[in-house]
Amino acid sequence: MTPAAAVTVHRWNRASIVTMTALGLLVLVLAFGPAIFGATLTDRMTTLFAYVILAAMWNALAGYAGLVSVGQQAFFGLGAYAAVKLSHGGVEVYLALVLAPLIVGVLSLPLSSFALRLRGGEFAIGMWVFAELMHLLVNLDGLVQGETGTSLIALSSFGPDARRAFNYWVALAVMLALVAAVFFLLRSRTGAAIQAIRDSEEAAASIGVRVMATKRLIFVLAATGCAAAGAITLSTLTTFQPKTYFSVQWTAYMIFMTLVGGLGTFEGPIVGAVIFFIVETVFGAQGVWYLIGLGAAALLFSLFLPRGIWGVLTDRFGIALLPVGYRLRFADATKRTES
Amino acid sequence: MPRVLTAVGITKRFNAFTAVADVDFHLDANEAVGIVGPNGAGKTTLLNVLAGSYPPTAGTVTFGGADVSRSNAADRCRLGIARSHQIPRPFGNMTVFENVFVAASMGAGAAREQAYDGSIESLRLCGMLAIANRKAETLGLLDRKRLELARALATGPQILLLDEIGGGLTDAEAAELVTIIRELRGRGIAIVWIEHILHVLLQVVERLVCMDAGRIIAQGVPEEALAHPAVVEAYLGSGVT
């Protein structure tokens, strides 16, 4: 038997090393964002970071684990709500913004036992029902006073510039941590198992994948991430009105960004988030026509470019800047025909 | 040869329908057993109960001395019971290598480097190394069947449950699989193989279990089992060879 050494497994390539370096430099520049950007752009960038988180989370859930949810606004809303509650309870406001998603992540654990028993469309709608339920429950809280809402009053102890900069840095750090968490999870052995479940749950179980535990991991990560985006959004808006946060539009945005960028590719949804951000910045003031345009674009993409922008690029040019997969390389060409 | 798998009094009912009725089955280390019978005889149901795809309504499955009746498919795979599916279930969006890598890292519980080696070895054995970077959804039927074998093999099994792995293939294609399966036996893996194509099956197995209507109607050395009056009647002259 020929030694296995003739064949080697490769994960990084030259393009991905260049990309990682470029991203590292970009992050370094972004770290000085509040000093470089004006006030408006700093706020907008904070929003972009929240969008990137949302897109990466929905993609991890639907694109990699096959769990299509239309109820991720539940966690988005709970993240903001938990931050309000923590701050109201006396926790330092920026600590509250960081702790809130972790609390929501823990709370999503018992929910996963029920939600992950549902399949396909049942799961999607079940999650929406859960989001509506959370919305109603949060409305009952005396602090929130129904749709009157409340606000993150503690933020006003900071001056506008300091607050803007802190919001930005927290959002940047949380985004980097969450996107890195998704990336390294998908690159791990568990990441391959997650994709196996997406493609055939039964076959995955039959080769030793613990289906429920593996799904739960990605479910909790996505819940935590969406909650973090909710907390970041709260930091920029400062007001908390339940119907704004528990709105299904957040999941619609996630779906738009993921579909346009490329469902099931790691880079795609990040590109999708940037595109969505630009579209919103340029056309956001157009009101209803803006929303119609978004819907039409998502429809056209799913009909004619179902793999999204990045999916097309990888299919056509084999580009993988941030690869989560595996390629075999054959040291000796004759080994290819050996059987 | 020590006994590796024992199933006693296995019954599986789906609502009012009894698919498998009070079946006893056993497998020795490095043994190869064929299961034959008409459609609806309960062969695949029995295999699913052995693999842990669903629990038996009654009866116990013992593997390596431990009762595994209630453990699920994933846990049984980790213990050493691997299977192939009648209709191949590739992970279509993943490459052939990635398909096998999941099996090596989860089923065999191997660390990364060992899982790489195990996957490459399994692919080599199943003649799939050259197409390791292809997406599994692009594979034809023979390669999908090979992938089922390679994946099962990569989990490092003591026993391999094959469900009509030769179905739908030409004789030449089936012969390729026979070569691979014989090689697996040579490595000490015991085999349970459900197959309709008898002349293929008989190249590998030394014991035949004949089922009909959820029961075992005859078993033993292939020639004797096939000559059993109940078996002849079950097939009703439809030409079992």
- Give the pLDDT confidence of B192-230 residue by residue, as tens digits: 999 988 888 999 999 999 998 889 988 888 888 888 888
Residues A40 and A21: their CA atoms lie apart, in Å, by 28
Residues A179 and A57: their CA atoms lie apart, in Å, by 8
Q: Find the CB nearest A192 among B75, B101, B133.
A: B101
Asked whether residue A218 is domain-assigned, the answer is: yes
Strands B32-36 and B190-194: parallel
Q: Across the interface, do A189 and B99 touch by the CB < 8 Å criterion?
A: no
Asked whether residue A8 is domain-assigned, the answer is: no
Taking only the tens of pLDDT, chain A with its 339 residues reads: 445 458 888 888 888 888 889 999 999 998 888 888 888 899 999 999 999 999 999 999 999 999 999 999 999 999 999 999 999 998 898 999 999 999 999 999 999 999 999 988 999 999 999 999 999 998 888 888 888 888 888 888 888 888 899 999 999 999 999 999 999 999 999 999 999 999 999 999 999 999 999 999 999 999 999 999 999 999 999 888 999 999 999 999 999 999 999 888 898 999 999 999 998 888 877 788 888 888 888 888 888 888 888 888 887 877 777 788 888 888 865 444 433
More confident residue, B167 or A83: A83
Q: Which residue of A has its CA nearest to B147?
A: A203
Q: Find the CB nearest A193 among B102, B112, B155.
A: B102
On whether any CB of chain A is under 8 Å from the CB of B79, the answer is no
Range of the domain at A191: 15-250
Q: Chain A closest CA to B221's CA: distance in Å? A: 30
Q: What is the pLDDT of residue A4?
A: 45
On whether any CB of chain A is under 8 Å from the CB of B87, the answer is no
On whether any CB of chain B is under 8 Å from the CB of A200, the answer is yes
On whether any CB of chain A is under 8 Å from the CB of B101, the answer is yes
Q: Is the pLDDT of residue B9 over 60?
A: yes
On whether any CB of chain B is under 8 Å from the CB of A225, the answer is no
On whether any CB of chain B is under 8 Å from the CB of A212, the answer is no
Chain A residues 4-23 with a CB less than 8 Å from chain B? 4, 7, 9
Encode pLDDT of B123-164 as tens digits.
999 999 999 999 999 999 999 999 999 999 999 999 999 999
User: What contacts A252, CB < 8 A, 6 or more positions away?
Assistant: A294
Residues A276 and A281: their CA atoms lie apart, in Å, by 8
Q: Which long-range contacts (CB under 8 A, 24 or more apart) does A136-142 make?
A: A138/A77, A138/A78, A138/A81, A138/A242, A138/A246, A139/A242, A141/A81, A141/A85
Q: Is the pLDDT of residue B32 over 60?
A: yes
Q: Which residue of A has its CA nearest to B79?
A: A208
User: What contacts A96, CB < 8 A, 6 or more positions away?
Assistant: A82, A83, A86, A87, A154
Q: What is the pLDDT of residue A78?
A: 95
Residues A170 and A95: their CA atoms lie apart, in Å, by 10
Please check whether residue B166 is in contact with residue B197, taking contact to mean a CB–CB distance below 8 angstroms.
yes
On whether any CB of chain A is under 8 Å from the CB of B102, the answer is yes
Percent helix, strand, coil in chain A, to 5, is 75, 5, 20
In chain A, residues with a C-beta closer than 8 Å to the C-beta of B107 are 207-209
On whether any CB of chain B is under 8 Å from the CB of A193, the answer is yes
On whether any CB of chain A is under 8 Å from the CB of B127, the answer is yes
Assign a CATH topology to domain B1-79+190-241: Rossmann fold (3.40.50)
Asked whether residue A323 is domain-assigned, the answer is: no
Q: What is the pLDDT of residue A335?
A: 45
Amino acid at B169: L
Q: What is the pLDDT of residue A144?
A: 82
Q: Percentage of residues in chain B with pLDDT exceeding 90? A: 65
State the best of B77, B79, B87, B120 to mutate against chain A, taking most chain A CBs within 10 Å.
B120
Q: Find the CB nearest B98 among A7, A210, A326.
A: A326
Residues A87 and B20: their CA atoms lie apart, in Å, by 61
Residues B25 and B46: their CA atoms lie apart, in Å, by 9
Average of per-residue pLDDT across B2-17: 91
Q: What is the pLDDT of residue B237?
A: 56
Polymer length in residues for chain A: 339
On whether any CB of chain A is under 8 Å from the CB of B77, the answer is yes
- Name which of A63, A56, A78 is nearest A127 in CA terms: A78
Q: Chain A closest CA to B98's CA: distance in Å? A: 7
Determine how many CB atoms are found less than 10 A away from the CB of residue A147.
Answer: 11
Encode pLDDT of B50-97 as tens digits.
999 999 999 999 998 899 999 999 999 999 999 999 999 999 999 999
Q: Find the CB nearest B91 among A9, A196, A327.
A: A196
Q: Across the interface, do A202 and B106 touch by the CB < 8 Å criterion?
A: no
Chain A residues 253-292 with a CB less than 8 Å from chain B? 264
Q: Chain B closest CA to A9's CA: distance in Å? A: 7
Q: Chain B closest CA to A142's CA: distance in Å? A: 47
Asked whether residue A275 is domain-assigned, the answer is: no
Q: Which residue of A has its CA nearest to B100?
A: A207
Q: Which residue of A has its CA nearest to B106?
A: A208
Asked whether residue A287 is domain-assigned, the answer is: no
On whether any CB of chain B is under 8 Å from the CB of A336, the answer is yes
According to DSSP, residue A149 is labeled -
In chain B, residues with a C-beta closer than 8 Å to the C-beta of A204 are 91, 102
Q: Which residue of A has its CA nearest to B127?
A: A339
Q: Chain B closest CA to A28's CA: distance in Å? A: 32
| Number of domains present in the structure of chain A | 1
Q: What is the pLDDT of residue A5?
A: 52
Q: Chain A closest CA to B127's CA: distance in Å? A: 4
- Name which of A276, A291, A200, A256 is nearest A58 in CA terms: A256
